[in-house]
Amino acid sequence: MILSQFQTVGSDLFVRGLVSSHSGNLSIKLGDHLIITRRDSMFNSLQENDLVETGISKNDRSTPLAAVDLAIHRAIYRETQALAIVHAHPPHALALSLHETKTVPGVEGLSVIDDVPVVDCETGAKAEKTENIIARALKEHRIILVNGHGSFAIGQLLEEALNFTTALEQSSQVLCLLKSLQVSSVKD
């Protein structure tokens, strides 16, 4: 049951090109534990041994097997009401996150999401840990972009977080098309 949720969302993200063969990570919260995809797992063919259960606050034997972004997932579960997290690398949204400094605007009438903030974890607030910056941003938004890295979406179910992720990429794609039309109309 749990595996099939991960498989459905993982292969959907892969087929849509929102993650590469070995990137991205998914998790769900179970009490004071979480189940997260294994480090370097392949989203298009997730199996039982690709899911790692470990503590939200405590380490155990399974902790080293978890995805590299475990600290971010843990911080999000500590700081928000999220029960599921989807981290992906949607290409059009990523391009906009490098281009737009603060937000990627939602496209009215098209999207289930509003403006998506772009969080900068590289420069500026160096005193604060990356996971805390991301978790704080997700207190007020259902999905955010990390500058030059990717998206983090939260929901009650993985499917809900997937919905926000695909919505972000779709509106980003429209915005990229619009920008390219504006560039070509200037040339004309």
Residues that bind Zn ion (CB under 5 A): 150
Asked if 69 and 135 touch (Cβ cutoff 8 Å), the reply is: no
Q: How far is the CB of 39 from Zn ion (least distance, A)?
A: 12
Q: How far apart, in whole angstroms, are the C-alpha atoms of residue 58 and residue 73? A: 13
Q: Which residues are bridge partners to 88 per DSSP?
A: 151
* Cβ proximity to Zn ion, 14 vs 61, nearer residue: 14
Q: How far is the CB of 40 from Zn ion (least distance, A)?
A: 12
Q: How far apart, in whole angstroms, are the C-alpha atoms of residue 164 and residue 170? A: 10
* Cβ proximity to Zn ion, 20 vs 47, nearer residue: 20
Among 128, 118, 172, smallest CA distance to 148 is for: 118
Q: How far is the CB of 88 from Zn ion (least distance, A)?
A: 8
Residue 160 to residues 7, 9, 123, 143, 168, Cα–Cα distance (Å): 15, 10, 31, 11, 13
Q: How far is the CB of 183 from Zn ion (least distance, A)?
A: 29
Amino acid identity at 151: S
* Cβ proximity to Zn ion, 44 vs 107, nearer residue: 44
Among 34, 30, 44, 109, smallest CA distance to 74 is for: 34
* Cβ proximity to Zn ion, 24 vs 117, nearer residue: 24
- The tokens describing 173, both together, are 């794609």
Comparing every residue's Cβ against Zn ion, the nearest one is 150
**How many other CB atoms sit within 10 Å of the CB of residue 157?**
13
* Cβ proximity to Zn ion, 20 vs 180, nearer residue: 20
Strand-pair category, 84-88 with 103-104: unpaired
* Cβ proximity to Zn ion, 150 vs 155, nearer residue: 150
Q: How far is the CB of 4 from Zn ion (least distance, A)?
A: 24
Q: How far is the CB of 46 from Zn ion (least distance, A)?
A: 16
